[in-house]
Chains A and B, each alone.
Chain A
Amino acid sequence: MRDVPLWREPVPPDGTTMGEPEARGRFGEYGGRYAPESLVEACREVEEAFRQAWADPGFRGALARLLALHAGRPTPLTPAERLSQALGVRLYLKREDLTHTGSHKINNVLGQALLAARMGRRRLIAETGAGQHGVATATAAALLGLEATVFMGERDIERQALNVFRMRMLGAEVVPVTTGSRTLKDATSQAMRHWVGATGDSHYCIGSVVGPDPYPWMVREFQRVIGEEARGQCAAELRTGVPDHVVACVGGGSNAAGTFAGFADTPARLVGVEAQGGAGAARGRLGVLHGCRSLFLQDDEGQITQAHSIAAGLDYPGVGPEHAHLRDLGRARYVTVTDEEAVGAAVRLARTEGIVPALESAHALAWVIRAAGDGELPAGSTVLMTLSGRGDKDVSTLKELL
């Protein structure tokens, strides 16, 4: 028997869920700024600059222009006709795979790169797992005339070789990380260490809704564009205006946070889908890592354990603090799918809709397929799913499996 948690009714929308965090960067008991003293001032400067920029129509306008002219926004909302028919639900895909560079990561990076330039920084530092955030960072840096240094685990460098080449072609420096599990967690640690010695001229461009305050909030705000566009598109497209379910995959949780933000004040049920081997929200326990208090996979002694996922972008042992809070509130639910289910979903989407999704995004779809099959998604319900990225980067992984 699969363990299907009880479906709690969504907390009635109160208009403040997914607004500004509480004092000291808190989402309930999670979040905060657990940074070494040497980074506290740098975090404060990022927060101050972000608050000013976000309230400045000039900054908003410049970002909107970049998102439209460089990244290709708005992205379409595509009804998945044949798959919907087979599943007995009405599935709509928010097509972040169609953005320039091929994933939602570009939304956040263009925001942070503009902010860094406004702060007078000349270089971006980033960590990357799948390489999508690294490619997006390298792209934004090239566009704005900044330098970029990207930290990437050795294991991910092997399995995402194409993205490594893309970053270098875009002029970024890619630094292999050889410690620990040699994946995203260790790349993040190394990027933070590097930032401690480079706060004067460099901005740390974190790629998900993790890290010390203000990052979880700031990155969610830069990704909110996904949810806001989708909200408007659903209003135009659906008879009910709002979908019954809103689904997204969760690594650190940025595409999910951006998507959920557009629907937090509606009755839509929010579902975050984690990799079975990287289920911070579903299986983590309270801890502090990489600057924030949240849920992390740990052993009995409090050591962080390694995540395992076929999708490099979900290979992170924790989850952003706001997701931990949404889980506690019951406003969102977090479920897991296996590598096999994700690969199966990727193939199915390719053959029914002509779209090869990123393996990360395929996790979200795998849950939709499973839930439609076992009745958790009642026949006829409407489902909005964020397709966070395209599968080009994963073809060599898939080629070995199929």
Chain B
Amino acid sequence: MTNPTPGPTPAAGTVERHLRARRGTGRGLLMPYLTAGITPGWTDYLRAFAAAGADAIEVGLPFSDPTLDGVTIQQAGETALARGASTRRILADLSAMPDPGVPLVVSTYYNLVLHDGPEAFCAALRRAGVAGLIVPDLPVHEAGELTDAAAGAGIELVLLASPATPQPRLAEISSRSRGFVYAVSLMGTTGERAALAASAAGLTGRIRRVTDRPVLLGFGISTPDQAREARRHADGVVVGAAVMRRVLDGAGPDDLRVFLATLRRALDAGSQPGV
């Protein structure tokens, strides 16, 4: 059974505690995304993201068949794989990196999780200092085996909600998600868009009715204006393709720090949800 009354979760993990604390200061949350292994010194981007005021960082493990990604992140994944990126090497790079100071949330497709098995995969994430996990092709009704493995390893498994999700299912997703609820702003793939989708407001409103977990809006959010608008509906934003397009165009960690700082300012200036 789901509990529709908002209330703090006693068993909250690192990601959720961190996001709740930051939200508590009135700040809009920012989670930039990076395709891991995209350049030889790719972890430098993560440090730059943290320095720009990221509240968590999504680290994408590239997969050969990214069925929920648009062209930019597809291309980033192909580039990383062509460079020889693999789960093993990426986690080794993360282990070797100094603590960025914000939680790392890995995202990838379920095939890579199943490859060594959910237990071994989650344990490896944990050893590399990762706190959370997003699997876009693992909907809540198939998430049982990974939920247990993740909980056992102390990894927070973040579930996604979509504009097409019916309300009872939304309640189940919100209650079983850990860390935060990932609100997919639109019916589409990842990729930059000209405007925040109209479906975003309705979805976040429906999620808020069933949980007080942090809610991050992702998919398509590309500009400071869109981030400011998203902040009116959600606790914060995930920014992926807008980051990766710049990286693919040759922007370095410093360039990305400057770009993310513009999003940071927009989120700081934006009003809080429902206010």
Q: Enumerate chain A interface residues (CB-CB to B < 8 A).
A: 24, 32-42, 179-180, 185-186, 189, 192-193, 196-197, 199-200, 286-291, 293, 296, 298, 301-305
Q: Knowing A287-B111, A288-B111, A301-B87 touch, does A38 contact B142 (C-beta < 8 A)?
A: no
**Cβ of B138 and Cβ of A34 under 8 Å apart?**
yes
**Cβ of A196 and Cβ of B187 under 8 Å apart?**
yes
Question: When chains A and B are docked, how far (Å) is the Cα of A130 from the Cα of B42?
Answer: 40
**Cβ of B67 and Cβ of A180 under 8 Å apart?**
no
Q: List 6 A-B contacts (CB under 8 A).
A: A33-B142, A35-B139, A41-B166, A189-B65, A192-B67, A304-B111
Q: Is the interface of A mostly helix, strand, loop or mixed?
A: mixed
**Cβ of B142 and Cβ of A36 under 8 Å apart?**
no
| A307 to B: closest C-beta gap in Å | 12
Q: Is B209 an interface residue (CB 8 A)?
A: no
Total of A-B residue pairs, C-beta within 8 Å: 111
Stretch among B94-102, B155-163, B223-231 lining the A interface: B155-163
Q: Is B68 an interface residue (CB 8 A)?
A: yes
Question: When chains A and B are docked, how far (Å) is the Cα of A239 from the Cα of B194?
Answer: 69
**Which 3 A/B pairs are nearest by Cβ-Cβ distance?**
A302-B115, A38-B162, A301-B86
Within 8 A of A (CB), among B31-60: none
Neighbour of A189 across the interface among B67, B115, B184, CB < 8 A = B67
Q: Knowing A38-B163, A289-B111 touch, does A303 contact B187 (C-beta < 8 A)?
A: no
Contacts of B87 in A (CB 8 A): 301-302
Q: Which residue of A lies closest to B160 (CB)?
A: A37
**Cβ of A36 and Cβ of B160 under 8 Å apart?**
yes
Q: Is B63 an interface residue (CB 8 A)?
A: yes
| A373 to B: closest C-beta gap in Å | 38
| B196 to A: closest C-beta gap in Å | 16
Within 8 A of A (CB), among B153-192: 159-166, 169, 173, 184, 187-189
**Cβ of A197 and Cβ of B187 under 8 Å apart?**
yes
Neighbour of A196 across the interface among B81, B140, B161, B189, CB < 8 A = B189
Question: When chains A and B are docked, how far (Å) is the Cα of A385 from the Cα of B237?
Answer: 56
Question: When chains A and B are docked, how far (Å) is the Cα of A113 from the Cα of B137?
Answer: 26
Question: When chains A and B are docked, how far (Å) is the Cα of A36 from the Cα of B184?
Answer: 10
Question: When chains A and B are docked, how far (Å) is the Cα of A33 from the Cα of B69?
Answer: 18
Neighbour of B67 across the interface among A40, A193, A293, CB < 8 A = A193
A37-B159, A37-B161, A196-B68 provided; 8 other pairs, C-beta below 8 A?
A: A34-B138, A34-B139, A37-B173, A199-B164, A288-B111, A298-B115, A301-B86, A303-B64
Question: When chains A and B are docked, how far (Å) is the Cα of A180 from the Cα of B63?
Answer: 11
Question: When chains A and B are docked, how far (Å) is the Cα of A172 from the Cα of B68?
Answer: 25
Question: When chains A and B are docked, how far (Å) is the Cα of A33 from the Cα of B141?
Answer: 8
| B238 to A: closest C-beta gap in Å | 15
**Cβ of A197 and Cβ of B161 under 8 Å apart?**
no
Q: Which residue of A lies closest to B164 (CB)?
A: A41
Q: Is B110 an interface residue (CB 8 A)?
A: yes
Question: When chains A and B are docked, how far (Å) is the Cα of A199 from the Cα of B173?
Answer: 21
**Cβ of B164 and Cβ of A289 under 8 Å apart?**
no
Q: Enumerate chain B interface residues (CB-CB to A < 8 A).
A: 63-70, 74, 78, 81, 86-88, 109-112, 114-116, 136-142, 159-166, 169, 173, 184, 187-189
**Cβ of B86 and Cβ of A34 under 8 Å apart?**
no
**Cβ of A286 and Cβ of B114 under 8 Å apart?**
yes
**Cβ of A304 and Cβ of B65 under 8 Å apart?**
yes
| A190 to B: closest C-beta gap in Å | 9
Q: Knowing A36-B137, A41-B165 touch, does A302 contact B112 (C-beta < 8 A)?
A: yes
Neighbour of A185 across the interface among B65, B109, B165, B169, CB < 8 A = B65
| B233 to A: closest C-beta gap in Å | 18
| A177 to B: closest C-beta gap in Å | 11
Neighbour of A33 across the interface among B67, B139, B165, CB < 8 A = B139
| A123 to B: closest C-beta gap in Å | 15
Q: Which residue of A lies closest to B108 (CB)?
A: A302
Neighbour of A36 across the interface among B63, B67, B70, CB < 8 A = B67
Contacts of A186 in B (CB 8 A): 65
| A347 to B: closest C-beta gap in Å | 35
**Cβ of A288 and Cβ of B110 under 8 Å apart?**
yes
Contacts of A179 in B (CB 8 A): 74, 78
**Cβ of A36 and Cβ of B162 under 8 Å apart?**
yes
**Cβ of A38 and Cβ of B187 under 8 Å apart?**
yes
| B64 to A: closest C-beta gap in Å | 4
Neighbour of B188 across the interface among A35, A37, A196, A304, CB < 8 A = A196
Contacts of B81 in A (CB 8 A): 303
Question: When chains A and B are docked, how far (Å) is the Cα of A38 from the Cα of B184?
Answer: 8
Question: When chains A and B are docked, how far (Å) is the Cα of A41 from the Cα of B162?
Answer: 10
Contacts of B138 in A (CB 8 A): 34
**Cβ of B137 and Cβ of A302 under 8 Å apart?**
no
Contacts of B162 in A (CB 8 A): 36-38, 40-41
| A306 to B: closest C-beta gap in Å | 9
Contacts of A298 in B (CB 8 A): 111, 115
